[in-house]
Amino acid sequence: MERWKQYASLGALFAVALAAGLWGFRATGGALPWAKRSARALQRGLDEGGGALVDLGRGVVVAGPIRNGGLVPEFIGLVAVLVAVGIALYVYAGRRRGGAA
């Protein structure tokens, strides 16, 4: 398929998804964290709201249940274990492939 058709199709898909996202953002309370937005929408229905789509001042934070529950060290430990296992598997797979060849 021609490249411009690929990107036009992708652009159309993104446009539809972004339009739905903007409607959902405004209709479910505006600039709210997901957990609060979800609880409010499911308890009280749609509730128009506004606010910034991007709030860089808020920064990237660990999810509320983990942060508030004091489980950040456990979270970091789990990520470290998973990364170590992933790298070990990668090395093992490389050596096995090398041995087989």
Partner 1 sequence: MAHIHLGEGSFPLWALVLWTLVGAGLIGIVTYRIRKGGIETGQIALAGIGAAASFAVFQLNLPVWGGIHMNLTGLVGILAGPTLGALIALVVNVFSAALGHGAVGLLGANTLVNASEAVVAYYSFRALTRMDWDVFPASAGAATVGLSTGAVLMGAIIVVSGVNGSALPRADLTVAVAGLVGLNLGVAVIEGLVTGFVVRFLASVRPDLLALGDRGEPAGVTA
Per-residue DSSP letter, 56: G
| Structural contact between residues 61 and 71, judged by C-beta atoms closer than 8 angstroms | no
| Structural contact between residues 39 and 28, judged by C-beta atoms closer than 8 angstroms | no
Minimal distance in Å, beta carbon 33 to partner 1? 4
Residue 49: how many other CB atoms lie within 10 Å? 15
Binding-site size for partner 1 (CB under 8 A) equals: 68
Footprint of partner 1 on 19-48 (CB under 8 A): 20-25, 27-35, 37-38, 41-46
* Site membership for partner 1, residue 77 (CB under 8 A): no
* Site membership for partner 1, residue 17 (CB under 8 A): yes
Residue 73: how many other CB atoms lie within 10 Å? 8
* Site membership for partner 1, residue 101 (CB under 8 A): no
**Which residues contribute to the site for partner 1 (CB under 8 A)?**
1, 3, 6-7, 9-10, 13-14, 16-18, 20-25, 27-35, 37-38, 41-46, 51, 53-66, 69, 71, 74-75, 78-79, 82-83, 85-90, 92-94, 96-97
